[in-house]
Amino acid sequence: MGNSLQDQLLQAGLVTKDQVNQAQKSKKRKPPQGKKAKQAARQRPVDPEVARQRAEKAARDRELNQQRDEVRRQREVAAQVRQLVREHRVERRPGDDDVAFNFQNKDKIKRLYVSPALHRQISARKLVIVNDNGSFELVPPPIADKIRARNPSLVIDLPDDDSPADDDPYAAYKVPDDLMW
């Protein structure tokens, strides 16, 4: 088994002695494929059109990577907000004594049914309304601040109690928050 493959093929009669000699000569004639070949490839002048296309492709790739990163960041923020809301929301149990709490969200009036105790807490700003993928949940103000830091559009800000104007004839008559129409 110490014979080379060429010797074994020669003994089997699959190749002739001339073919073996020709194969050995062609091995010796191959140009070197080492450092010199790589340096020669580097020194070749680059076509300006090819260089421009490479630069454009690199710019497109960078832009696509930035877009992917932004989408990934938005998903991460949405997941963080969802987790904050799920962990810290105030449970609302539907009952007969639920009161409608009306609030404004993106130029639309929305209604949230809560118990009278929760209604007082929302009015006193001890609870904050947060938009959780179309459903509205109640969370404590520190959690609402964390959500606001991530995505301010999800926190519903109730209007401040405006002090009446000096010339308002109805300034002495305050409208209660729980007024039922």
For the chain, what are the domain ranges?
Answer: 48-161
Residue 72: pLDDT band by 50, 70, 90 thresholds?
very high
Residue 113 pairs in a beta bridge with 100
Query: In which order are the strands placed within the sheet that holds 135-139?
Result: 135-139, 128-132, 155-156
Average pLDDT value for the chain: 82
Maximum pairwise Cα distance, the chain: 120
Question: What is the reported pLDDT for 76?
Answer: 92
Question: What is the reported pLDDT for 140?
Answer: 92
CB atoms within 10 A of CB 131: 19
Task: Collapse the DSSP code of 127 into the 3-class scheme (helix H, G, I; strand E, B; otherwise coil) and give the result.
Answer: coil
- Percentage of the chain exceeding pLDDT 70: 81
More confident residue, 115 or 170: 115
Question: What is the reported pLDDT for 119?
Answer: 86
- pLDDT for residue 177 is more than 80: no
User: Mean of the pLDDT values across residues 61-89?
Assistant: 92
In sequence order, what E strands does the chain have?
Answer: 99-105, 108-114, 128-132, 135-139, 155-156
The model's pLDDT over 88-104, given as tens digits with 9 standing for 90+, comes to 888 887 776 688 888 88
Question: What are the φ/ψ torsions at residue 32 (nearest 5 degrees)?
Answer: -65, 140
- pLDDT for residue 3 is more than 60: yes
The model's pLDDT over 18-71, given as tens digits with 9 standing for 90+, comes to 888 888 887 776 665 666 666 666 666 668 888 899 999 999 999 999 999 999
Question: What is the reported pLDDT for 173?
Answer: 78
Distances from the Cα of 82 to the Cα of 17, 46, 141, angstroms: 79, 52, 16
Question: What is the reported pLDDT for 44?
Answer: 66
Question: What is the reported pLDDT for 34?
Answer: 64
The predicted model scores a pTM of: 0.56
More confident residue, 164 or 26: 26
Question: What is the reported pLDDT for 2?
Answer: 53
